[in-house]
Amino acid sequence: MMQHLPVLQVLLPLLGAPCAALLRGRDMAWGLALLLTGAAFLISAVLFGLQYNAGEALIYDLGGWPAPLGIVYVIDAASALVLPVVSGIAFVATIAARRLVEAEIDARDHALFYAAWLLTIAGMLGQVTTGDAFNIFVFLEISSLSAYALVAMGAGRDRRALPAAFNYLILGTVGATFYVIGIGLLYMLTGTLNLTDLAERLAEVESTRASFTALAFIALGLFLKMALFPLHFWLVPAYAHAPSAVSALMAATATKVSVYVLIRLMFGVFGVEFNGLADAIGLLILTLGITGAFAGTLAAILETDLKKLFAQSSIAQLGYMAIGIGAMSMTGLAAAFIHLFNHALMKGALFLAIGAIAAQAGRVSMQSIEGAGRQIPVTMTAILVGGLALIGVPLTAGFISKVYLVRALLEQNFWLLAGLTFISSALALAYVWKIIEAAWLKERPENAPALIETPVHYVPAWLMVFATIGFGIFAGPLVDAAYAAAAVFIGGPS
């Protein structure tokens, strides 16, 4: 059964979804979701080990049709690194989901909620695993469509979830359609959809105008999907008004998967050189990245709603990932992978902790957490550590990301950009300080509702916090894995 693990990874949540939709009774659907995401996490951990030991890509031919005829699932160093992030966070978010969903979603919709939940996880795992350009689109849409439904389920508590979900749907579909146009142009040029085969055949027609157009469409579509500045407007309302469990899952994984797909397509198919355009494309992505880092951080400082604040900070953090990609170097790509991994952990911790408060207090604003640091110290400390990691304080995972990011920029002599990255990270201190001020330095108002915390509330968030600190102190294995992932795209055949 070991050789079937790549497909089981995607298949378990995918087939779990219709089963979950049919289950009746308290917590049945949740139990199934927990079981399946747990299994997916276990499988992805085993796959990581198998891939590491094999030292080469594990390839699975669906339906027994070998590449490039059939669709293949590829577990190489890059996908082996991203899979545990997605499935691990899905697992932890599912643990927390039970309480959050009970508080926020009508009991009649629980079965359908977990069906959509499993589908969106299956879609994300599929995007990472598959080695077929069109299959990526299909999984992209599976995860996006169920995500729209999940965001809209926040309507029971906050009706603004509906227009937020609609705008997310419009922009998400435009992004996905741009991606398909790009893939269509590539298929016209090469007659293949397998990513490896595509890379080989594209080398012959690389300098045609159609191939540049294809790159532009694919990149633009994925920029929209990963919410790169200035295409990020769908993200903040969607994360802020979605049910808390959904915010946690999506903030931690959805955009990261798009970053991964972008790296896979840009570097894995078009190659590092882009036929002489590398400098121009790199400069574009760097500019967007650093602008996004500043725009997101500044907008976050002005926000008073915690969910919106951290959604804005996600835009800044995605900007840092874009900077890593835009550096167009081995170190830059490794930094992007490191930050992708670490940011998923931090945002998972933050949104799970906020969700635990939101399930009791409704909206989590600066006002509603006044004095909360004394009332619910463990949950608030999780938010604090997550915030410090976002700034990049040493001993947290965020520090490692920033170190490698700055190193990548200095390697290429981008002194100005390295300075700007440092400044924008330091600016993040402002919004973290706002939270410290509200939660610890102010007294809890007399009429404010009492917040409680029990291990059920904070354990999921603290799992993520421990991971954040753990990978901040023992970063060696992660850095090695990220360099191995970057080596798949740079230095290998392109």
Q: Which is nearer to other proteins, 443 or 455 (CB)?
A: 443
Stretch that binds other proteins, among 8-16, 86-94, 255-263, 466-474 (CB under 8 A): 8-16
**437: which 2 tokens?**
């001020």
**373: which 2 tokens?**
């640091």
> Does position 437 bind other proteins by CB under 8 A?
no
Question: Is there a contact between 373 and 380 (Cβ–Cβ < 8 Å)?
Answer: yes
**395: which 2 tokens?**
């001993």
Task: Identify the bridge partners of residue 132 per DSSP, sorted by sequence position.
Answer: 194
Q: Which is nearer to other proteins, 187 or 433 (CB)?
A: 187
> Does position 187 bind other proteins by CB under 8 A?
yes
Give backbone dihedrals phi and psi of 157, rounded to 5 degrees, phi first: -105, -35
> Does position 304 bind other proteins by CB under 8 A?
yes
Q: How far is the CB of 14 from other proteins (least distance, A)?
A: 7
Distance of alpha carbon 351 from alpha carbon 310, whole angstroms = 8
Distance of alpha carbon 112 from alpha carbon 89, whole angstroms = 20
DSSP at 108: G
> Does position 46 bind other proteins by CB under 8 A?
no
Distance of alpha carbon 78 from alpha carbon 481, whole angstroms = 8
> Does position 134 bind other proteins by CB under 8 A?
yes
Distance of alpha carbon 195 from alpha carbon 133, whole angstroms = 6
Question: Is there a contact between 183 and 141 (Cβ–Cβ < 8 Å)?
Answer: no
Stretch that binds other proteins, among 181-189, 270-278, 324-332, 452-460 (CB under 8 A): 181-189
Distance of alpha carbon 415 from alpha carbon 216, whole angstroms = 28
Q: Which of 35, 54, 106, 170 binds other proteins (CB under 8 A)?
A: 170
Q: How far is the CB of 366 from other proteins (least distance, A)?
A: 9
Q: How far is the CB of 203 from other proteins (least distance, A)?
A: 21
> Beta-strand (E) ranges in 12-97?
58-61, 72-75
Stretch that binds other proteins, among 61-69, 285-293, 434-442, 469-477 (CB under 8 A): 61-69
Distance of alpha carbon 258 from alpha carbon 176, whole angstroms = 11
> Beta-strand (E) ranges in 369-489?
none
Q: Which of 109, 141, 200, 411 binds other proteins (CB under 8 A)?
A: 141
Q: Which of 26, 279, 280, 367 binds other proteins (CB under 8 A)?
A: 367
Q: In the chain, what is the straight-line distance between the N-terminal and C-terminal CA atoms, in Å?
A: 32
Q: How far is the CB of 162 from other proteins (least distance, A)?
A: 5
Q: Which is nearer to other proteins, 22 or 426 (CB)?
A: 22
Q: How far is the CB of 444 from other proteins (least distance, A)?
A: 13
> Does position 51 bind other proteins by CB under 8 A?
no
**Where does this chain bind other proteins (CB under 8 A)?**
1, 4, 7, 11, 14-15, 17-19, 21-22, 60-64, 134, 137-138, 141, 145, 148-149, 152, 155, 157-160, 162-163, 165-166, 169-170, 173-174, 177, 180-181, 184, 187-188, 304-305, 361-363, 365, 367-368
